[in-house]
Structures are given as C-alpha cells and as structure tokens.
Structure 1
Amino acid sequence: MNLLNVSRVRRSLLSAVVVPVAALALTAGIGAVAEAAPAAAGPTKIDLQGAVNVRDLGGYGTYDGAKVKSGKVIRADALGKLTDADVHKLAGLKLQTVVDLRTTAEVQGLGADKLPAGVPLVARPIDDTGMFVKMSQAIQSRDPQQQQALLGDGKAEQIMGDVYRSFFSADSLSKFGQTVRDLANTGNATLYHCTAGKDRTGWLSYVTLRAVGVPESVARQDYLLSNQYRAAADAATRAQLKQAGLMQNPDLLIPLQEVRDDYLDIAVDQVNSQFGDFGKFLTQGLGLDAGTMLKLRENLVG
C-alpha cells in the first residue's frame, strides 16, 4: 500500500473512532405511560457517499400519540468527505444551520465540513477527553504492545465511559443546552454532528427526543441505530488498518467504534445522580426554562 493510501486509511480510522410547567411534565418521569405508547415509523436515513451515519429524526412517536416532524432535526457524522453530489443533496434539505460538535484537533485532522453555499456553520466543540489525539498517536505508532496497553483488557471501554461522563462538565452542558435551544427556534432543518455521529451526537439526539416526549426505549433505539449504520464502514476500516500494517489487532477498536447500552447508561446514571430525574436535568443541567421546553415541543412535534 502506498503512502497516499496509508494516509487515507488513517483518516478513515480517525473518522470512525473517534453526549410552561405543562411542557416540563412531558419530560419529567413520563414512566409507564410513555413506555406503553406505540412508536411511529423510524427515522429517514439520508444516504450520502461521504458520510454513513446521517438521518432525519422525524417520524418517532411520542407518548401522547403525536410524532416528531420531519425536516427539523438531522443528526450526522463528519461532513468533510462529502462529494459534490452529497453537497447537492444536502442543499435540497434546506438546512438552516449546521452545528459542528468536534474539537479543533478533530477538525484539523479530518477536514472542515463541506456544505451547500450559504448554510451557516456553528463551531461548538464538545470535549472528547483527548480520545482523538490519543488514538491517532497509538495507531500511527504501529506498535502492537502500545496499542494493547492503551485499548486492551477493558481499557477501551473505560475510555468510552470517561467520554460519556465528560458530557456533564459545565462547558459540555452549556453547549448541549445551547444546541437544544437552537432546535426550539429552528425554522428549516438544523443538522448537528461530531466525528462518528454516535456519542456526542447520539447523546444530544437521545436528550432531544426524550425532551419532546418520545419514550425512553424509542430514544434508546435511535441511539443504538448508529451500530447498524456504521457497521460496514467500521469493519472496512479495521480490515484496511490490518492490511496497511498499522494494527495487528484492529478489533481493539471495536469498543470505540460502537455505541452500547452500557455507555448510554453511564450518562443516564449521571443524570439521575446529579439532578434526580430527567426533567431536572433539562432545567438545571441544560438551563432550559419552561417557555423553551414548550417551544421545543411545539416546533418539533406535530
């Protein structure tokens, strides 16, 4: 494999490894009523050549029989590899704003988003606890022992746990909260993304869906759907890394490439331990007032 292809493999890996009172009642302890509600049809997958984890969250059912509107919230992975055809397709979605949750290191390593002309880009970096840089260095070392020491024996899972706990830093809470406020005021679609579109993006999507009354089990299903969307690309990345001689055991990356119930549970446990329940998390953690919550529901559900 020539140096150009090795570089492409590295970039591919980096993209893969790398969270009124009536309105508040919709989100605080919906409980058995929410779980009993039938879910509407799932989200609409948006097929792009340069991004694999892109979907419109419209279509999910709420506990009271309504459903999330299409053309309002789009979640995605990094958009730096989009083709001209992809950009043209995004233009047809009438995006109002794109929010990039990646760190500066991720943007520098993977490239800036490619967007339709005139679509505003908001850089709102949420800390990844240094995972991107550490993984990059380990992979490029080509050292199996270093890679095993960093990722083996449950260490990769520990890294992911630290990522989800970091969602509750003051800075991260502020940025997640601001993005939810943006969604309350969106006219056309707002798209947000991180690198793989599964952790920071996954948590934000889970929170948003629950905030408008989608049952927890359905919001969790959306979170886990990233495994389905990313499976082929992630497997190809591992195969390419082995072929290129960058990793003898690329399966070490699987815990970093996947989303898991255990990871989401870490964040949910933080919600309960720090704030008591999900409703208080929205108000005290994310700083959303009752008016914003009502506006979010009215804007995203119909």
Structure 2
Amino acid sequence: MSRARIRLATAAAAAALALGTLPASAYAAAAPGAGVSARPHWHQQQAETIRQITLQGAVNVRDLGGYRTWTGGQVHQGLVYRSDALSKLTDADLTTVSGLGLTKVLDFRIPVEVQYDGADRLPAPLTPTSRPVSDLGLYGTLVGAITSGDPVTQEQMLGGGRAEAYMRDIYRTFVSSPENRAQFAAALREIADGAQGPLLYHCTSGKDRTGWMSYVLLRALAVPDDAAARDYLASNTFRAAYDARVRAGLKQSGRMQNPDLLIPLQEVRQDYLDSATARMEADYGSFYGYLTEGLGLDLRTLAKLQNKMVR
C-alpha cells in the first residue's frame, strides 16, 4: 500500500472513531441492549416518552412521534424517524429497519463523511437521498487533531473552550447558511407531502444536524419548546455508552492522551441549541419568521405538515 493510501486509511479510521462509526462488531458491544433481539424501547424523559429503535449498527435511532402539542394533539408515530449513520447496519438491523416501512431516507452527511464512513446500508429497494448540510469543517478538524497524535496540538485545537465555540459556530450556520436552510426546507416539504410514506433522516451521530432538524419539525408541529429541547438533549442518553467507548479506544491506542477533549464535540448541549435559536431570532424575529422567510415554507405547506403529522 502506498504512503498516500496509508495516510488516507489512518485518517478515515481516526475520524470514524471520533464521530461514532466503529465497525458493526464494536457497536454490538457498545449499543444499548446489545445481544438481545432488536425491538423498540421506551425511555421516559420527564413528561415525554421517547421511542428508541434498538439496533446493533446504530445507537441513536428514534421514532419522532408521541409528543403532545400545545393545541391538544399528538404527533403520529411511525411516520418520521431520526437516526445516526446507517452504514454499519447488521443483517438483523436490516430486518428491523425493513419493518418500519420506510419509503425514503435522507442523509445530511457531506460527501467526505460518506466517503470515509460508507454509504447507508438499507433494505432493498431503498437508496439514500443526499441532503448535505455543512459541518463547518468539523470532520476535517477531528481528523487533523486525532491523527496528529500530539497532545499539545490537540489541546491547542480543542482545549480551552475552543471545541465548545466551534460547536456554537456550527449551530449558527444551520440558520445563517442559505445552502443549509435549503436542505432543511426540502426535508420539511417532503415530510409534509401527503403522498410521502414513512421517512427517516440522519447525519453521522444523529445529534447536531439531525437534532436541529428534529427540533424545528417538532416546533413546527406545535410541540412546546421544552419538549422539543428534551428530544434534542436525549442524544446524550442514547450515545453516552458508545461515546465513552470511543474515548477509551483512542486513549488505549495512544492517539489521544486526553480524549475528554472530544466530549464537547460528542455531546449536545442547551448552549449549542441556544446559539442557533438566538441567530434565528436575530435574523428572522421569531420561529414563525424562520419557517416562512428563512425556510420559505408557505402556509399551505405548514398546514399540510400539521394535517399529516398531528392527530
């Protein structure tokens, strides 16, 4: 193997470790409920119940239904799912995913993530639809930090609050970038389409781009802000064991002396969500302004979204 190919393989492995894309065999040891048959699990989050779809090759797969709206309705189950990357699904996982009846899968990952992590593995005849949302160079930053193997460089890149600041910047671009807004708007239009069957969307870890998309969708369905925020923050619960395993692996391999530098990048935080909503209010005045002006959704589309998704 040439030196260039060796460097590429090393970078891919490092990025996969940091972003939560270990081989399926590693997922089997890290995923909640590993070693038992895949089936929905219910997790109580204060007043709301979150329905997790337990898989071996992904750890943050959930049905977005079940939430109560402030208008007295309830979001339908079985119509929209959110998840982390699906490139490492096992054969048993494919059977479980097939049972969800999905008709479309939207992939928010950028091309370099798909190149390194692999395309989605889906039951036939499903193929993923690419809806790339910028990570503001996060993937490349992680590759550079981890593959350097230098504790000083890693501290300089990620320590001293720099990782947290990076995440806040990423969340602001979910709102400020016209390209990102276009992808989120397209996803919402597809969900609102009455002819569209059950749909799943995801990014790499299923927490940031997917988290923002889910927060916006729930708010658009009149789910109270605190419940939508709890759904966003629940990624920390579902990813905790796996992310801890990733950090332990990096330390054991010698790639990082202080893998806790990655925690701000692995977690979701209210502060990150607040960065996006603050930018939303600064640019558009309100959540409604963001939906109509920022995302370009008309009243007919918003009504279709409600009619389809809320009972």
The question of a shared fold, defined as TM-score above 0.5 by the shorter chain, is answered with yes
User: Structure 1 residue 270 and structure 2 residue 279: aligned?
Assistant: yes
- 1:264 and 1:10 mapped to 2: Cα distance? 24
- 2:10 and 2:59 mapped to 1: Cα distance? 20
- 2:144 and 2:151 mapped to 1: Cα distance? 12
Structure-2 change in CA distance of 1:41 and 1:162 (3 Å): closer
Q: What SS class does the counterpart of residue 20 from structure 2 fall into?
A: helix
Equivalent pair of 2:16/2:116 in contact (CA under 8 Å): yes
Aligned partner of 1:13 in structure 2 is 18
Aligned partner of 1:20 in structure 2 is none
Deviation string, structure 1 residues 84-105 (Cα, Å, up to 9, x no partner): 1111110010101000000011
Show the 5 A alignment for 1:1-302. 11-15=16-20, 41-167=48-174, 168-185=176-193, 187-302=196-311
Equivalent pair of 2:67/2:223 in contact (CA under 8 Å): yes
Between 1 and 2, higher relative CO (CA 8 Å, sep ≥ 6) is seen in: 1
Q: What SS class does the counterpart of residue 81 from structure 2 fall into?
A: strand
- 1:59 and 1:78 mapped to 2: Cα distance? 23
- 2:294 and 2:252 mapped to 1: Cα distance? 45
Equivalent pair of 1:51/1:78 in contact (CA under 8 Å): yes
Equivalent pair of 2:61/2:82 in contact (CA under 8 Å): yes
Q: Return 177-186 or 192-201, whichever deviates more.
A: 177-186
Equivalent pair of 1:72/1:189 in contact (CA under 8 Å): yes
Structure-2 change in CA distance of 1:103 and 1:10 (3 Å): closer
| Residue 8 of structure 1: how far off its partner (Å) | 5.6
Instruction: Output the amino acid matched with 2:190.
Output: D
Equivalent pair of 1:102/1:124 in contact (CA under 8 Å): yes
- 2:19 and 2:65 mapped to 1: Cα distance? 29
| Residue 10 of structure 1: how far off its partner (Å) | 5.1
Structure-2 change in CA distance of 1:40 and 1:189 (3 Å): farther
Aligned partner of 1:25 in structure 2 is none
| Residue 211 of structure 1: how far off its partner (Å) | 0.1
- 1:158 and 1:6 mapped to 2: Cα distance? 24
- 1:202 and 1:118 mapped to 2: Cα distance? 27
- 2:49 and 2:255 mapped to 1: Cα distance? 38
- 1:294 and 1:208 mapped to 2: Cα distance? 13
Equivalent pair of 1:78/1:196 in contact (CA under 8 Å): yes
TM-score by length of 2: 0.86
| Residue 162 of structure 1: how far off its partner (Å) | 1.2
- 1:271 and 1:257 mapped to 2: Cα distance? 24
- 1:101 and 1:141 mapped to 2: Cα distance? 27
Equivalent pair of 1:40/1:67 in contact (CA under 8 Å): no
Structure-2 change in CA distance of 1:40 and 1:181 (3 Å): farther
- 1:162 and 1:62 mapped to 2: Cα distance? 30
Deviation string, structure 1 residues 154-206 (Cα, Å, up to 9, x no partner): 00001101110111211001111110111101542110000110000000000
Q: What SS class does the counterpart of residue 118 from structure 1 fall into?
A: coil
Instruction: Output the amino acid matched with 1:227.
Output: N
Equivalent pair of 2:69/2:221 in contact (CA under 8 Å): yes
Instruction: Output the amino acid matched with 2:258.
Output: N
Structure-2 change in CA distance of 1:191 and 1:117 (3 Å): same
Deviation string, structure 1 residues 52-111 (Cα, Å, up to 9, x no partner): 011001100000221000111100000111101111110010101000000011111111
